[in-house]
């Protein structure tokens, strides 16, 4: 595992290398651009000198031979006439070269063909560009100096930047390293730089979720033990009382057995919910799939309608939009909806209505189950294990399982009373993660 110092050194090295590459890259482009323009200007200048000669003198060869010194003093060019064999191909060319510590640019262009003499002449115009070359060298040396100076500044800057970035990371790392399931405290974001405040808040939200998850799990295990202990105690007491009777009859034995069966059913409900919780956690590890949620809701709504009829409750649905594609685990969504609908039907009097409704809110899909039951106590946390209303016949694990499934779906569930106080609303906000 890398130490904080090693991480800082690596960060400093990578940042310095990246900045150095960018600096050299842009310096090279700039120097190449300047050099290209200087060379182009030199070539353009010597072409202008050649055009001037041809435009000024009718006999360029004679002018060069007679006024070579004048041309050198006035135009700063050295021109002469050269000869090559007539059968040697020749084209206009411009090139640079160095001679006797001086730099020149020379242009050679064909002039006349002397058939009688078996040769051809060409005009050579040479210009001294030593001063321009010195300027280019100075620019080059300037770039080297600026790059070296900038590298030093970059290293110093990277050193301070790495310190600014790694110091909050050290603080976060130290804080997170001492956290365990017995002590999960939130981070003090006020001591973090502004750039890390969002990260600190995100970590705090994660820590809060982890803390709630651990607390709920503890409550689940403790509550399970307590809920299982009660029917076991009833069974034991009933059996002991039955055994103490001297004159036992069939009715006494039947009553004891019926009580035992009732207690076993209660324990079986608790065990079933615990198994469902385990299956839900396993489903969280399954791969999400792209699903048309609206098609899924319509098929489920038909199943819920059949169940509602058996309970003599009117079930209707109003689903929109026509299509909504999301990447989810359908097992978890099924668990949430079944709990919502079954609770709504259970607490709705016969002949009353339960509505399954969906609508789009920005990019999210809102799914609501609205009943005409007795409502809920909004001061209770029904999503905690074994918390249930006074009229409930369940064990208080249904909404806890729904909350666990919603967390895995990165969704949000709410339970509240209707505004008209004539029932409750169970709401699922499904975020589109595609």
* Domain range list for the chain: 4-151, 179-284, 286-430
Nearest residue to 314 (alpha-carbon basis) of 359, 349, 366, 357: 349
- All residues at 6 or more sequence positions from 346 whose CB lies less than 8 Å from its CB, including other chains: 311, 393
Q: Does position 1 have pLDDT exceeding 50, yes or no?
A: no
Q: What is the mean pLDDT of the chain?
A: 80
Decide: 359 and 410 in contact? Cβ < 8 Å: no
Q: Angle formed by the axes of helices 250-284 and 398-408, to 10°?
A: 10
Q: How far apart are CA 345 and CA 335, in angstroms?
A: 16
Most confident of 34-38, 163-167, 206-210, 423-427: 423-427
Q: Which of 57-66, 179-188, 341-350 has the lowest mean pLDDT?
A: 179-188
Tokens of 303: 């199943």
Both ends of the chain: CA-CA distance in Å?
A: 35
> What are the beta bridge partners of residue 79?
125
62: closest CA among 108, 115, 111, 105?
A: 111
What is the Cα–Cα distance from 353 to 306, expressed in whole angstroms? 14
Residues in the chain: 434
**In the prediction, which pLDDT does 327 show?**
85
pLDDT of amino acid 211: 73
User: Tokens 């310095």 — which residue?
Assistant: 16
Cα distance between residue 7 and residue 168, in whole Å: 13
pLDDT tens profile 415-433: 899 888 888 999 999 887 5
pLDDT at residue 48 greater than cutoff 80: yes
**Which tokens sit at 431?**
């975020």
Q: Is the pLDDT of residue 395 over 60?
A: no
| pLDDT of amino acid 222 | 65
Cβ-proximal residues to 8 (8 Å cutoff; 6+ apart), any chain? 162, 163, 166
Q: Which of 380, 386, 312 is nearest to 346 (CA)?
A: 312
Chain-centroid distance, C-alpha 255? 64
Of the CA atoms within 13 Å of residue 190, those in its CB half-sphere come to 0
The dihedral sign for the CA sequence 259, 261, 263, 269: negative
Q: How far apart (Å, rounded) are the C-alpha atoms in residues 78 and 128?
A: 9
| Rounded distance between C-alpha atoms, residue 192 and residue 176, angstroms | 14
Query: Distance of CA 395 to CAs 218, 265, 384, 420, Å?
Result: 16, 12, 12, 29
CB atoms within 10 A of CB 216: 19
d(CA 322, CA 360): 10
Write the pLDDT tens digit of every residue in 246-277.
676 777 778 778 888 887 877 777 777 667 66
Report CA torsion sign: 136, 137, 140, 141: negative
- Report which of 235, 31, 244, 214 is spatially closest to residue 139, judged by C-alpha positions: 31
Tell me what percent of the chain is helix, strand and coil, each rounded to the nearest 5.
Answer: 60, 20, 25
Looking at residue 400, its pLDDT comes to 76
Residue for token pair 């004048």: 70
**pLDDT, tens digit (0-9, with 9 covering 90-100), for 117-156:** 888 888 888 888 888 888 888 888 888 888 888 878 877 7
Cα–Cα distance measured from residue 343 to residue 383, given in angstroms and rounded to the nearest whole number: 13
Give the 3-state secondary structure of residue 256: helix
Rounded Cα gap, residues 60 and 44, in angstroms: 20
pLDDT of 314 over the 90 cut = yes
The tens digit of pLDDT for each residue in 331-372 reads 888 888 888 998 899 889 999 999 999 999 888 899 999 999
Locate 177 and state its tokens. Answer: 């390293």
- What whole-number distance in Å separates Cα of residue 391 and Cα of residue 375? 11
Asked whether the beta carbons of 324 and 293 are under 8 A apart, the reply is yes
* Relative orientation angle of helices 330-346 and 293-310, to the nearest 10 degrees: 30
Question: Three-state DSSP class for 352?
Answer: coil
Which among 386, 403, 406 is positioned nearest to 394, based on CA atoms? 386
CATH number of 286-430: 3.30.565.10
Nearest to 189 by CA among 178, 200, 180: 200
């Amino acid at each position: 595992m890398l130490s904080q110092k090693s991480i800082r050194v690596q960060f400093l090295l990578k940042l310095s290398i990246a900045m150095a590459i960018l600096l050299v890259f842009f310096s090279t482009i700039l120097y190449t651009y300047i050099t290209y323009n200087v060379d182009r200007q030199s070539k353009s200048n010597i072409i202008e000198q050649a055009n001037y000669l041809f435009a000024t003198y009718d006999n360029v060869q004679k002018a060069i031979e007679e006024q070579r010194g004048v041309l050198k003093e006035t135009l700063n060019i050295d021109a002469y006439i050269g000869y090559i064999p007539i059968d040697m191909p020749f084209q206009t060319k411009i090139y640079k070269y160095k001679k006797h510590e001086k730099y020149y640019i020379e242009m050679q262009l064909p002039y006349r063909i002397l058939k009688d003499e078996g040769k051809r002449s060409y005009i050579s115009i040479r210009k001294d560009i030593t001063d321009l070359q010195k300027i280019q060298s100075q620019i080059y040396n300037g770039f080297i100096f600026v790059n070296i100076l900038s590298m030093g500044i970059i290293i110093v800057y990277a050193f301070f930047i790495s310190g600014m970035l790694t110091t909050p990371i050290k603080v976060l790392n130290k804080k997170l390293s001492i956290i365990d399931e017995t002590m999960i405290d939130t981070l003090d974001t006020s001591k973090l730089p502004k750039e890390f405040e969002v990260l600190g808040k995100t970590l705090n939200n994660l820590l809060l979720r982890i803390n709630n998850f651990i607390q709920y799990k503890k409550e689940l295990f403790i509550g399970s033990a307590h809920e299982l202990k009660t029917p076991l105690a009833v069974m034991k007491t009933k059996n002991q009382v039955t055994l103490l009777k001297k004159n036992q009859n069939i009715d006494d034995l039947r009553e004891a057995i019926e009580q035992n069966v009732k207690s076993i059913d209660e324990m079986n409900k608790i065990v079933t919910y615990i198994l469902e919780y385990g299956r839900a956690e396993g489903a969280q590890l399954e791969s999400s799939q792209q699903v048309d949620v609206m098609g899924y809701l319509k098929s489920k709504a038909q199943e819920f309608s059949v169940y509602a009829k058996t309970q003599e409750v009117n079930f209707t649905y109003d689903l929109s939009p026509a299509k909504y594609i999301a990447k989810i685990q359908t097992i978890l969504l099924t668990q949430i909806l079944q709990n919502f609908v079954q609770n709504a039907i259970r607490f709705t009097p016969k002949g009353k209505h339960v509505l399954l409704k969906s609508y789009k809110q920005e990019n999210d899909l809102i799914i609501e189950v609205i009943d005409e039951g007795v409502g809920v106590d909004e001061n209770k946390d029904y999503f905690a294990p074994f918390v249930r209303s006074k009229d409930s016949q369940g064990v208080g694990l249904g909404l806890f399982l729904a909350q666990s499934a919603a967390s895995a779906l990165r969704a949000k569930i709410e339970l509240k009373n209707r505004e008209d106080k004539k029932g409750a609303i169970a709401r699922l906000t499904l975020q589109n993660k595609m």
